[in-house]
Structure 1
């Protein structure tokens, strides 16, 4: 005999549209305040020049002695450091930005959903940092070593700082997003869009997808493509393993498998 449905804990919590807009405005302002504070602190130390010197270390190590990055654009010496400063500020406060997103949607979540939403945000931010750190401390050094090995002795490599920063930022973004694979896998399983068994069957296809994605979003060198595709495959396996635990830990009291997000009759 079926048990009577419990009262919906979100019943009566609906807010008017204007209240949602005001809440969204406040959360966006908090995001702006966080970014502005990070920009001010980073401008004081290490400063825009220090940030440029830091991200330029991987390629600088493979340039001929006495060679430096050049600025061919008229405004590049000003705009490029400011662009890097703003990006690093956003990365520094990424957990704060994700928290504001969570705080905006939290009133519409059930208690068991709130329990796993915040850990997912923290885990996702951590994975993004891992992806960016992987680029800075592992991929770039080997990628530039591979690229510079093709330069003939009669050609002196003097990369433009604007194009270099653009390439680095695209790699940061690509790896930061690619490292979210476990989060995507766990959510797909949690909301029963796919099963763990199907994910295992799809493993071979995912390997092909990972290498195709790596070939599209990375420079045309084998090092960076392998450096993106291989971690994606490993993180896919991590997501499969973690999804079993995640489904059990995030299930509502009394919720049976196969009933996720289905309205009670």
Structure 2
């Protein structure tokens, strides 16, 4: 066989994978777009819901401002698109799973699917924790700290950027158990080693919290304490996950 010759069906198999990938991406995109279009009539109400923690912290009668010409339209649309993605996330994850599942062994399916689901759930839990608990503390501190001579009127674009940053920070923070489990499952770390570096992790958690959150003790604790607890949860769950996802030859 010459170098120019290919194994029969090799090119067709590659193209079929590309077609399958395109189909899955299109289906996931359609799901997001359909949900987005259904939510668009309530885009303003959705943004008001996102702004509720700030509005509760502002003095009575205060309102946010929009400095851009199309900002009052663009920002609610962005928020609605993100909400649509979160609502359609089960469909997106299913399409991703349907694409990769045929190429996995049984023990690999036991490894991948729980990680995908748990990481998605933990990310959403991190966002919910930030919205319902952290925002109230942060915004209250900021507005109480502001001098009385200043009229606090946050710009909606700056507010959107700020809350997205915190959402991502807390969402990623809540992925710590998954990171710990993956490190142990891949053999890069052992549970004993993770326990030994616990003091450094605690210090690092407070350093990260001090950088990300406003400079008040309560806000830093609201990020650092969950980070430490989730690290401990990962150490607790890692051995059980490793045993449950062993390949037959590993178990033997």
TM-score, L = length of structure 2: 0.90
Q: Is the 8 A contact 1:129 1:176 kept in 2?
A: yes
Q: Is the 8 A contact 2:134 2:219 kept in 1?
A: yes
Q: Is the 8 A contact 1:146 1:223 kept in 2?
A: no
Residue 248 of structure 2 aligns to a residue in which SS? Answer: coil
State the 1:15 CA deviation. 7.5
1:105 maps onto 2:100 in alignment: yes
State the 1:256 CA deviation. 4.3
Aligned pairs for 1:218-237 within 5 A: 218-237=213-232
**Which of 7, 21, 26 is 1:29 aligned to?**
26
Cα RMSD (Å): 2.0
Residue 57 of structure 2 aligns to a residue in which SS? Answer: coil
Aligned residues: 243
The aligned residue for residue 57 of structure 2 is 62
Cα distance in 2 for residues equivalent to 1:124 and 1:189: 16
**Which of 151, 158, 161 is 1:163 aligned to?**
158
TM-score, L = length of structure 1: 0.85
Aligned pairs for 1:241-256 within 5 A: 241-256=236-251
Higher helix share: 2
CA offsets 1:176-207 (integer angstroms, 9 cap, x no match) = 11111111111111111111101111111111
1:42 maps onto 2:35 in alignment: no
Q: Is the 8 A contact 1:31 1:96 kept in 2?
A: yes
Cα distance in 2 for residues equivalent to 1:54 and 1:199: 40
Aligned pairs for 1:126-137 within 5 A: 126-137=121-132
Q: Is the 8 A contact 1:139 1:223 kept in 2?
A: no
Q: Which runs of 5+ in 1 are unaligned?
A: 1-12, 258-265
Residue 74 of structure 1 aligns to a residue in which SS? Answer: coil
